[in-house]
Amino acid sequence: GGNRATPPQPGAAALDFARSNFLPLALIGGMTLGLLDPTLGCLAHKYSLSKYSTFGIFVISGLTLRTKELGAALQAWPAGLFGLGSILLFTPFLAQFLVQIQFFPREFITGLAMFCCMPTTLSSGVTLTQLAGGNSALALAMTVISNLLGIMFVPLSLAKYIGTGAGVSLPTKELFRSLVNTLLVPLILGKVARETSKGAQDLISFLKLLSLGKFLIWTCIPYVGIAEFVDGNRQGFSVLSAVLLSLVPWIQVSRSRSLLLSVKPKAFAIIVTIGVLLHLALLAFNATTLQVLSCLKQKEESVLTRKEYARAVILVASQKTLPVLVAVVEQLGGALGESGLLVIPCVAAHINQIIIDSILVNWWRQRDQRSTSAK
């Protein structure tokens, strides 16, 4: 006569699964759509939709960025310094080992080696850090600094590890302008909107006290409660960031569809596997090194041991950006091989690293939930 637990409905179980794995599902869905019909993806590329999506991601980052997180990021400077060293020095060093691999087409290995020399991703590292409960301010700081320094480091790394005779040069002004427009400007706009909303309620009360017109009061109302609204709907904003993030691989797969279908499946599978192993090696290196460095400080707790900092460094320092690589390949003008074949393995590596890291993030979140339930 006891009450029996009601089994979950199939629809509810599927919805829970979709919520827990929304980012990888969105990425796989975008890739599938690009392979089945590239028309929409090519049209989106024509109108530079990926730039607007990146802009939107960093507006959301600014809206969700708490001021106290900025102070926390400054306190974690040892973790950020290690992350920058891993991004700009260690991973480019791996490129010289990749180029020793004999592979056909040769451009696949060359492209993957070039990918190692790139700075971190402009958006996915920050987005995944937020989803994982890491310090997004530290992730943003490493993203901005590594991409700014990358303008100097990338040509040096390519010349040293890929080949000195290629005449590699980066469009410095264009890349710097693109970085400012797609990252810093939307981040500042989102942060300003968040901070402005905090004082708007006091302003309305002051206007009412002075018995001023309703027009001035209603002008201020749209700015009231932005910070509270964003903090109360962080999951929704995370989903929106994931949707915007999934647009980039969808567009890249749509653009590269014809070349992807012309490559032998075995060669493509091997290069994808190499890319996956490379990313797993970076994750293992960053996680292990952080653990070793944290053990060196025995008298006091190291910032490297704190979960929010460690997760930000592991995610951001293990990823590589695709847009900078595309800009470099375009500047080479075919000096290192067919441009499309150079980019294809990097598109796959870019998508795979996001999928792998999203799985890691989901595992972290489930572990946090179990830990919270146990307490």
Confidence class for position 235, pLDDT limits 50, 70, 90: confident
Q: CATH for 31-207+223-364? A: 1.20.1530.20
Are 105 and 267 spatial neighbours (Cβ–Cβ below 8 Å)?
Answer: yes
The Cα 127–Cα 125 span in angstroms is 6
Q: Which two tokens stand for residue 285?
A: 């290196």
Q: Taking 80 as the threshold, does the pLDDT of residue 293 lie above it?
A: yes
pLDDT attached to residue 171: 59
Which has the minimum average pLDDT: 58-67, 140-149, 211-220?
211-220
Q: Taking 70 as the threshold, does the pLDDT of residue 79 lie above it?
A: yes
Residue 212: CB atoms within 10 Å: 11
pLDDT attached to residue 218: 43
Q: Taking 90 as the threshold, does the pLDDT of residue 261 lie above it?
A: no
Name the residue among 64, 34, 62, 66 with its Cα closest to residue 50. 34
Q: Taking 50 as the threshold, does the pLDDT of residue 225 lie above it?
A: yes
Name the residue among 211, 100, 104, 219 with its Cα closest to residue 163. 100
Confidence class for position 207, pLDDT limits 50, 70, 90: very low
Which has the minimum average pLDDT: 129-133, 224-228, 286-290, 320-324?
224-228
pLDDT attached to residue 213: 47
Please, what is the average pLDDT of the chain?
A: 80
Are 259 and 42 spatial neighbours (Cβ–Cβ below 8 Å)?
Answer: no
Confidence class for position 8, pLDDT limits 50, 70, 90: low
The Cα 210–Cα 250 span in angstroms is 54
pLDDT attached to residue 306: 85
pLDDT digits (tens, 9 = 90+) for 18-71: 876 777 788 788 888 988 999 999 999 888 887 788 888 888 888 887 766 666
Q: Taking 80 as the threshold, does the pLDDT of residue 111 lie above it?
A: yes
Confidence class for position 278, pLDDT limits 50, 70, 90: very high
pLDDT digits (tens, 9 = 90+) for 299-311: 555 677 788 999 9
DSSP character string of 225-247: THHHHHHHTHHHHHHHHHHHHHH
> What is the pLDDT averaged over residues 165-170?
52
Q: Taking 60 as the threshold, does the pLDDT of residue 210 lie above it?
A: no
Q: Taking 70 as the threshold, does the pLDDT of residue 107 lie above it?
A: yes
DSSP character string of 250-280: HHHHHHTHHHHHHS-HHHHHHHHHHHHHHHH
Looking at the whole model, is its pTM more than 0.85? no
> What is the pLDDT averaged over residues 199-222?
48
Domain borders along the chain are: 31-207+223-364
pLDDT digits (tens, 9 = 90+) for 333-353: 677 777 778 888 888 898 899
Which has the minimum average pLDDT: 197-201, 248-252, 275-279?
197-201
- State which of 243-257, 306-320, 361-375 shows the largest mean pLDDT: 306-320
Confidence class for position 324, pLDDT limits 50, 70, 90: confident
